[in-house]
Amino acid sequence: MSQVPNSSAGSDQQPMTGAVDLVAEPPVELHSQQGRSRSKVYALMASGTMVSRLLGFVRTAMLAMAIGSVTSVADIFEKANVIPTIIYMLLAGGVFNVVLIPQLIKASKAKDRGAAYTSKLLTLVVVVMGALTLILTLCARPLIIALTNNWTEPMIMLGTAFAYWSLPQIFFYGLYAVLGQVLNANGRFAAFMWAPAVNNIIQLLVIGAFILTFGAYSSGDPMENWSAFKTMWLAGGATLGIVLQAFVLFWPLKKVGLKLNFDFGWRGMGLRHVGKLAIWTLGAMVIGNLSSLLYSKIVSGATAARASMSPEQAASVAGEYALNTSQLITVLPHSLFALTVATVLFNDFARAFTEKRYKDVGQLLNRGMRSTAIPIVFCTIVFIVLAGPLGRLFAGSSENAAQAAGALGQLLVLTALGLPFKSLQFFMLRVFYAEEDTRTPMLIQSATAGLGLVLAFTAAAVVDPMHIAAAIAFIYGLTNVLSCIGTHFLVKRRYGGYDVNSVIDTYIRIGWMATLSGVVGSLVLWLLGGFSFGFAYSSLINAIISIILVAGTMGVVYIGLLHKTKVPELDSFLGPILRRIPGFKS
């Protein structure tokens, strides 16, 4: 999906995969912390994000076991469970991240530590989000109809039932976001980053109990024996996770010691002024999430096409659930490496602009881009080589799981191709935000979204619905490439060169090493039956074993090649670890 940064360090929009971790970036005040304390804060936050993502992967894999990954129920549940996330981000997420963070930080420095302002804010959120959630929940059926393509009446009815249980998540997403920002403004960062792990644990328990009660999906169309109780169990459990994700923040908030009460005196809060300053970023948020809704509508055509096929044929047709899962997988290295480095560098960018050291901007940008080349390029090749076994992890346990894994694997390959360009552009956008220019990123976002939607609607008109998910995955990668190139020229025109040739050279040199490791990994995968639906596809455990063996072999070959060819970026990335290994000391 399109990435929509916020006004500070920027956050990367998560793939739309149901229970999404809406983890915001640290507020500006965090960037002022120095030395070891800042490192500890980032380590704590990163660990929370990592644990939550890993639990999210397990949740997604278990959900595929419960209802399949390329079934009508899987896509219908995905549609209903994703709508709250997109609508929340579309209507409120940008406001919370862009407008409220500066106000909360400013209010926290008052004599009452922001208690009065925070009380007004929480009251406003409860009222507005409550009313919005009620209205949208009552409009569940029109929403499902508007966001689907060629769905049958039974699909619409089931989607509506799921939506009635899922749409209340909007309110609790909003509550979680505001409570988290209040904690951040008062120096309590860990709870906000770890709360999504609570959500994922709850959902693991819900899905696990669902499998124990009703059994894992094995074959056929699960809609044939679906019941209202299953709907309530699955969708209600998903909403319960979001509810607890928000409520666990009340405990650390109580420890902050703020005396909070309902306060309806909203006049004079200063939101209108700050909102005007953030209008361009809010515009980018709207455009990005509207495009997400339209993409999901186009991809839903695969669900309708699958309904008239035999189970064997349907298992090879990827839909919305498979597409979102492929993004959930491929976005992980970007979130762990590019987003983390860019967050740290943002402070250096901002300081360079403040001190009018414009020549340093290009050097910082160059350093950031090159610093993440080693993990990003390697992960890209790993995704391409191991697409099938990785797909098997999220293909469930049905008799057609191998075919479903192949369908998901195709999407992984197509989505992974744009990963390096996504991360490169992310660094370039930080430069604009550091100069407090939100207009240019919004224009870039608009152009990218417009081009992507033109290509998507064109694909919908000419591509068979059986292959529409693959077409959209290809468009994701293509728009990442094109937007990266376009952003490069805008950065170069405004800020001058940043020695892009050295960046390209770095990625090419590292790319060769990663490709050679990929060749070796492919040989190991071939021996494991990875290209003939053999051992690597035969079970979930075998897929895990294959992934460990192949990725481990690739990693050893990759690091060895980088060391032998004396790639300078290796020392900055793995230097502290490699110096402890005999034989790798330089």
- pLDDT (0 to 100) of residue 583: 56
Chain centroid offset of residue 410 CA: 19
pLDDT of residue 442: 85
Global confidence as pTM: 0.82
**Residue 23, helix vs strand vs coil:** coil
φ, ψ for residue 350, nearest 5 deg: -60, -40
Which of 162, 131, 126 lies closest to 144, judged by CA? 162
Q: What is the pLDDT at residue 182?
A: 81
pLDDT tens, N- to C-terminus, the chain (586 residues): 333 333 333 334 444 444 334 444 444 444 444 444 555 555 666 677 778 888 989 999 999 999 988 899 999 999 999 989 888 776 665 566 556 666 776 777 777 777 788 888 888 888 988 999 999 999 999 999 999 998 999 999 999 999 999 999 999 998 898 888 788 777 776 777 788 899 999 999 999 999 999 998 888 788 888 999 999 999 999 999 999 999 999 888 888 777 777 877 777 666 666 666 567 767 777 888 888 889 999 999 999 888 788 777 888 889 999 999 999 899 888 887 887 777 777 778 888 888 888 888 889 899 889 988 999 999 999 999 999 999 999 998 888 888 899 999 999 999 999 999 999 999 999 898 888 787 898 899 889 999 999 999 999 999 999 999 999 999 999 999 999 999 999 999 999 889 999 999 999 999 999 999 999 999 999 999 999 889 999 889 999 999 999 999 999 999 999 988 888 877 766 654 444 455 555 4
With beta carbons less than 8 A apart as the criterion, state whether 185 and 29 touch: yes
> Which residues in 243-358 belong to E strands, given as ranges?
none
Cα separation values, 177 from 133, 166, 182, 272, 430, Å:
15, 18, 9, 20, 23
Instruction: Give the whole-angstrom CA distance, residue 129 versus residue 578.
Output: 51
**CA distance linking residue 499 with residue 292, whole number of Å:** 34
Encoded tokens for 522: 């492919």
Distance CA 71, CA 379 (A): 29
- Distance, in Å, from the CA atom of 227 to the CA atom of 213, rounded to the nearest integer, reads 13
- Count of residues for the chain? 586
Six-digit token string for 373: 């080349």
The answer for residues whose C-beta is within 8 angstroms of residue 454's C-beta and 6 or more apart is: none
Q: Which two tokens stand for residue 138?
A: 């009552």
Between the CA of residue 123 and those of 114, 130, 144, 350, what are the distances in Å? 14, 10, 30, 34
Q: Which of 152, 416, 379, 116 is nearest to 268 (CA)?
A: 116
**pLDDT recorded at residue 268:** 66
Pick the closest to residue 97 from 289, 363, 354, 384 (CA basis). 289
pLDDT at 181: 78
pLDDT of residue 19: 39
Return the structure tokens found at 479.
């728009």
User: Of 1, 6, 10, whose CA–CA distance to 368 is shortest?
Assistant: 10
